[in-house]
Amino acid sequence: MLIPARYDARNAAALKRLQAAGVQLRPFPKSILDAAKKVSDEIFSSIAERDTDYKRIFESWRRFKTETDAWFGLNEFAMESYLFGKM
């Protein structure tokens, strides 16, 4: 089994155990997500400056992400918002 698939498959049971133990789960605040994105962008750019293979792959991925963000923002976000009761 692929590691991400195993991780995803075990999340539901893990969530139930946490909630049964009284853990209150909350999303990260926007300020933390903004800071994490900023730092990760800096790290990715720093690696790309030192590694030409990484830079080539990273720039290709970043172009793809930019091109597909509009689609995911419109379609996937709307569907997930609907499914998870955020609409």
Res 2: pLDDT: 66
Tens-digit pLDDT profile for residues 72-83: 888 888 888 899
* pTM of model > 0.85: no
Confidence check: pLDDT of 1 > 70: no
Average pLDDT, integer, range 27-52: 96
Neighbours of 86 (CB within 10 A): 9
Q: Rounded to an integer, what distance in angstroms lies between the CA atom of residue 37 and that of residue 21?
A: 31
Q: Rounded to an integer, what distance in angstroms lies between the CA atom of residue 29 and that of residue 74?
A: 22
